[in-house]
Amino acid sequence: MAIGLGIAGIAASALIKFAITGSLGGLGGMLAAGFLYLLSISALLAIFRAVIDTARMTLAYCNAGHNPPILRRRDGAIEWLREGGPVLGVLPAASYPAGAIELRPGDCLALFTDGISEAFNAAGEEFGEKRIIQALNQPAGGAEEIRLRIMAAATEFSNGDFHDDATLMIAAMR
């Protein structure tokens, strides 16, 4: 997901989407090639890329400065997917190691932009990851039910006044 709006952000997003194909190893190779382009348009780009192998129940991922997704295990344990590096366009020599996790039936993965976690109420309090986790910990449902529950909580909390893009994706493992 691109940080910012406009033609530069759209162009950078298109470049990244085109360049990231195949394995996660493609992310590291693409970063060096795309860095000069990002500098030339003064763009910063946060990316979280993941590949779920449903046959092996694994998730391989790399995070480039994006909000770390939250994995709520069936037993209620919480894990953040932090492996990776900084936002693209900041450090030309940054490394972006990939992470991998095993998925289990009943696990729930929440991927969200800062428009969700940083939504604030009239008192200036942020919605935060704590409230995302509270919504994840409510009685389980399908992925869409969980997504709607979190979006409703963030919308009610902020009175529907999001100051940034508010994007949320849920993957519920069966």
Residue (of 13, 21, 19, 86) closest to 43 by Cα position: 13
Residue 16's pLDDT is what?
Answer: 53
Give per-residue pLDDT as tens, 24-48: 554 554 454 455 455 555 667 788 8
Provide the pLDDT for residue 174.
87
Instruction: Set out the domains of the chain in order of their start, with CATH numbers.
Output: 50-172 (3.60.40.10)
Of 15-29, 59-73, 110-124, the poorest mean pLDDT is in 15-29
Query: β-strands 70-72, 108-112: how paired?
Result: antiparallel
- pLDDT category at 22 given cuts 50, 70, 90 is very low
Nearest one of 67, 88, 68, 71 to 79, comparing CA atoms: 71
Asked if residue 3 has pLDDT above 50, the reply is no
Asked if pLDDT for residue 58 goes beyond 90, the answer is yes
Query: Do residues 139 and 172 touch, judged by C-beta distance below 8 A?
Result: no
At residue 21, the pLDDT reads 47
Distance CA 71, CA 73 (A): 6
pLDDT at 101: 96
* Residue type (1 letter), 162: F
Q: Residues 122-174: pLDDT tens digits?
A: 999 999 999 999 999 988 789 999 999 999 999 999 999 998 888 999 999 98
CA gap 18, 21 in Å, rounded? 7
| pLDDT for res 2 | 38
Residue 120 DSSP symbol: B
Of residues 11 and 169, more confidence is placed in 169
Residue pLDDT, tens place only, 66-108? 999 999 999 999 999 999 888 877 777 788 889 999 999 999 9
49 vs 152, higher pLDDT: 152
What's the helix, strand, coil split of the chain in %, to 5?
Answer: 35, 25, 45
